[in-house]
Amino acid sequence: FRFKESLAEDLWRADLVISHAGAGSCLETLEKGKPLIVVINEKLMNNHQLELAKQLHRDGHVLYCNCSTLVDTLQSMDLSTLKPFPPGQPEKFALFLDKVVGFQ
C-alpha cells in the first residue's frame, strides 16, 4: 500500500518488522515488542537514521543493515539476541519539566 492511516493492526499481527530507521517507525514497532530489522537509507544527507539504528543496535534492540545486505541479514539473523525495549516513563519527563520551569 502507498498510504495507510495506521499500521497498528499490521504491527500487532507481524512476527518480524522490516522498516526504515525513522524514529516513529522504530519506536512504534519496539513498543509493541516486535523484532525489528532497520534498513538504512544511505542516500540521506546527515544520516540521522544511521545514528538511530546504530544506537538501537548497540543497546541490543534491533538489527540493522542496508538494502544490499538485507538478504544476508535475514539469512543470518538470530532474533533471540534482541532485548525488549523498555517502556516509556512519561511521568519522569513531566517531573523533569516541572523542575526546569520551577513548579517544584
Q: Is the pLDDT of residue 17 over 90?
A: yes
Q: How far apart are CA 11 and CA 99, in angstroms?
A: 36
Q: What is the CA radius of gyration of the chain?
A: 16
* Domain spans in the chain, listed from the N-terminal domain onward: 7-101
User: In 3D, which of 90, 5, 22, 68 has the Cα closest to residue 36?
Assistant: 22
Residue 45 is predicted with a pLDDT of 62
Pick from 25, 78, 77: nearest CA to 56: 25
Residue written as cell 518488522?
A: 17
Model-wide pTM > 0.85: no
Per residue in 84-97, pLDDT (tens digit) is 999 877 787 778 77
What would the CATH number be for the domain defined by 7-101? Answer: 3.40.50.2000
pLDDT of residue 18: 97
- For 45-76, write each residue's pLDDT tens digit: 667 788 889 999 999 999 999 999 999 999 99
Distance of CA 1 to the CA centre of its chain: 21
